[in-house]
């Protein structure tokens, strides 16, 4: 009987610790998400920076609004997906943009419903967008496939190799305004709504951690009463 009691206690403690760790992780995610929302709102409401004046690692300027002037290299476009817009499946159109200072940067031009070739365009555009961190993927995101032109997340090194262009590393521009408007894609110019349920998740895991310990206590109390 004693080994059985010990094993039940051990399982309860292990499950409780796992739930507690998950609760702590969700609290950390809560702080991260709150900071992310603040940074994005601040970026959308701030004045834009001239990207020509930004040097070094541009990821140091992430969540800043930037303006840039130059040309799209439409023949090098890539499709990031799947992405959903108003319950319709499609892709985000990612195109290298030639800045007039001689550099190339990836631009997320917004949502398109299918993978179709974009006509070459020699128009000079002025863009305004949010500078965002690239090369971020979670454990559930598949690897990109250069050979099949399948893209699940923005990776500047892989996209440089695919496009045969020396792209600015670590960042891309999330387009919010284009002049003149070419209506190639659906641009989301409003502040994105980011869900933040981490507090509920953290509380749920904390309650489960406590519940396993309480159940263990009740189990032993009933044993003692017999």
* Domain 49-179 in this protein, CATH class: mainly beta
User: Among all chains, which residue has been given the structure tokens 């070739």?
Assistant: 117
Q: Is the confidence at residue 12, as pLDDT, over 80? A: yes
Mean pLDDT of 2-16: 77
pLDDT digits (tens, 9 = 90+) for 107-144: 999 999 988 888 888 899 999 999 999 998 888 899 99
pLDDT digits (tens, 9 = 90+) for 170-217: 999 999 998 888 778 888 777 777 788 999 999 999 999 999 988 888
Cα separation of 114 and 92, whole Å? Answer: 9
Q: Which long-range contacts (CB under 8 A, 24 or more apart) does 166-170 make?
A: 166/104, 167/96, 167/104, 167/105, 167/106, 168/58, 168/103, 168/104, 168/105, 168/106, 169/57, 169/58, 169/134, 170/57, 170/58, 170/59, 170/133, 170/134, 170/135
Q: Residue 18: its pLDDT value, please?
A: 95
**pTM recorded for the entire structure:** 0.79
Map out the domains of the chain as residue ranges. 2-35+197-225, 49-179
> Would you say 151 and 93 are in contact if contact means Cβ atoms under 8 Å apart?
no
Q: Residue 225: its pLDDT value, please?
A: 60
| Contacts of residue 89, Cβ cutoff 8 Å, sequence gap at least 6 | 81, 82, 83, 113
């Amino acid at each position: 009987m004693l080994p059985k009691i010990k094993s039940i206690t051990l399982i309860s403690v292990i499950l409780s610790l796992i739930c507690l760790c998950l609760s702590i992780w969700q609290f950390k995610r809560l702080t991260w998400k709150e900071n992310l929302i603040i940074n994005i709102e601040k970026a959308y409401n701030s004045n834009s920076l001239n990207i020509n004046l930004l040097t070094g690692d541009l990821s140091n300027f992430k969540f800043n609004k930037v303006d840039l002037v130059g040309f799209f290299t439409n023949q090098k476009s890539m499709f990031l997906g799947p992405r959903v817009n108003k319950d319709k499946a499609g892709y985000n159109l990612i195109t290298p943009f030639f800045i007039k200072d001689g550099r190339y940067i990836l631009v997320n031009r917004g949502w398109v419903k299918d993978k179709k070739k974009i006509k070459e365009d020699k128009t000079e555009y002025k863009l305004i967008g949010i500078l965002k961190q690239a090369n971020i993927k979670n454990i559930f995101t598949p690897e990109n496939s250069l050979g099949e032109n399948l893209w699940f997340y923005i990776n500047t090194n892989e996209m440089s190799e695919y496009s045969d262009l020396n792209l600015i590393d670590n960042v891309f521009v999330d387009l919010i305004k284009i002049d003149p408007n070419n209506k190639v894609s659906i641009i989301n110019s409003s502040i994105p709504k980011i869900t933040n349920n981490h507090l509920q998740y953290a509380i749920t895991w904390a309650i489960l951690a406590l519940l396993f310990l309480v159940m263990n206590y009740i189990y032993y109390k009933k044993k003692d009463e017999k």
